[in-house]
Structure 1
């Protein structure tokens, strides 16, 4: 089973550690595409800071992010699972997983990134700022840059098992499964159910869907061997106490219903 995750906008920078070593990153076939993005990003952030903030969608108060990007080649690195922070990763709690669950996480989790394309959680990277929706001056939209390289690499990485796609729209645009792999890919929609004048009403959860998705992944990792078939994923989540519904009109989507977010 492969679990596709978005990164986090906020990232925890390492205080010390060796700089980036390309050869140490997983999915080495992506090295050339990664290097092109990094070169463009460093060049952009080493020049006019106002232009860099505009391209990256940052405010004046985030000028430190521009300076950090300019120093990416020599910045200290840490495992991606420690660099990415935020609601989903807080709920996932990688550091507190059991040893067996950590091993499963290392094999199953794949984090998408505007800079790196896709990473394993053990890959050592510096903290950076470059969302998947960015359009770099020399490369254009990052979704277009990554679609080809990821399309060549990821079908083999996914293998014959199910794919649980928990990415946000900006990162789903970097690569979309096709063919038989698409048929084994499941997405999750989080719905909050509340009583309104005594009648149950449902609404799509936005921000806090990340926490629910983090808990889903954590529970699967801790439960034992991950499901090997797409048709077993919903049942596995139900056994773990999650309320999961399937809609025949929307094959491949799992609706997770929560009453608290």
Structure 2
């Protein structure tokens, strides 16, 4: 089983690991693209005004330019610890047990606009690059879409739970040959109708991901995942369109 998470715009500073080592990252077939994109971003960061305009950053986020300029020399930490924000606060990776962290390292992937598909334990620096960043040609979609899809294709025998946003799905669609389910977090309104959540869907995704990681269960198929959810208080169901719904 793979659990695929989106990244977060916000990230922790620092890290106890050494400088970025592409050989230490999962999915080594992405190394060439990672190197090329890292060089592009670092070069662009030498012109702060240009980088801020392309990333649509205000003055309060000017420090992000320096993060991008020093990508190759900054300290690293595990990706699941690096990212912050609502989803990652709910996942709370730093508080996971050693056994749960080991499970996450094997079964959780994070889809980064800069590095492509990462393992949860991969050591990365802090950076700023969103899925809609305009870096010129090639675009992020051209850079990543086919390459990331091929990485998913290599897991076609596994259940894939896709917790990404639509913008990151576009940067690496999961092939039809891989049994995958896009998770949509919904709530029930006063009229009884189910509606998708926006901001608070991130908390639901993070909470579910943590529960799966803590249980350490490698679900063989979606039916087993739904049955576990019912027994553990996570209300999962399949929608007619094939999406997996999480009712909160």
Residue 202 (structure 1) shift: 3.4
- 2:19 matches 1:19: yes
Cα distance in 1, alignment partners of residues 132 and 215 from structure 2: 34
Q: Is the 8 A contact 1:220 1:237 kept in 2?
A: no
Q: Please show how residues 89-238 of structure 1 align to structure 2 within 5 Å.
A: 89-137=88-136, 139-156=137-154, 158-181=155-178, 184-195=179-190, 199-238=191-230
Change (3 A) 1:16 1:246: closer
Change (3 A) 1:41 1:225: same
Residue 231 (structure 1) shift: 2.9
2:35 corresponding residue in structure 1: 35
Q: Is the 8 A contact 2:160 2:180 kept in 1?
A: yes
Cα distance in 1, alignment partners of residues 244 and 4 from structure 2: 15
Cα distance in 2, alignment partners of residues 180 and 27 from structure 1: 19
Cα distance in 1, alignment partners of residues 234 and 175 from structure 2: 28
Cα distance in 2, alignment partners of residues 15 and 154 from structure 1: 29
Q: Is the 8 A contact 2:152 2:175 kept in 1?
A: no
Cα distance in 2, alignment partners of residues 43 and 86 from structure 1: 27
Report the secondary structure of 1:180's partner residue. Answer: coil
Residue 16 (structure 1) shift: 4.9
Q: Please show how residues 21-100 of structure 1 align to structure 2 within 5 Å.
A: 21-47=21-47, 49-100=48-99
Q: Is the 8 A contact 1:161 1:230 kept in 2?
A: no
Report the secondary structure of 1:3's partner residue. Answer: strand
Cα distance in 1, alignment partners of residues 15 and 215 from structure 2: 34
Q: Deviations over 1:15-37 (max 9, x none)?
A: 55411112111111111000111
Unpaired runs of at least 5, structure 1: none
Cα distance in 1, alignment partners of residues 159 and 57 from structure 2: 36
Change (3 A) 1:229 1:16: closer
Query: Which range moves more in the overlay, 217-226 or 105-114?
Result: 217-226
Q: Is the 8 A contact 2:184 2:196 kept in 1?
A: yes
TM-score (norm 2): 0.94
Greater Cα radius of gyration, structure 1 or 2: 1
The number of residues matched between the two structures is 248
Q: Is the 8 A contact 2:19 2:74 kept in 1?
A: yes
Q: Deviations over 1:46-87 (max 9, x none)?
A: 12x221111112112211111221111111111111111111
Residue 211 (structure 1) shift: 0.5
TM-score (norm 1): 0.90
Cα distance in 2, alignment partners of residues 123 and 235 from structure 1: 31
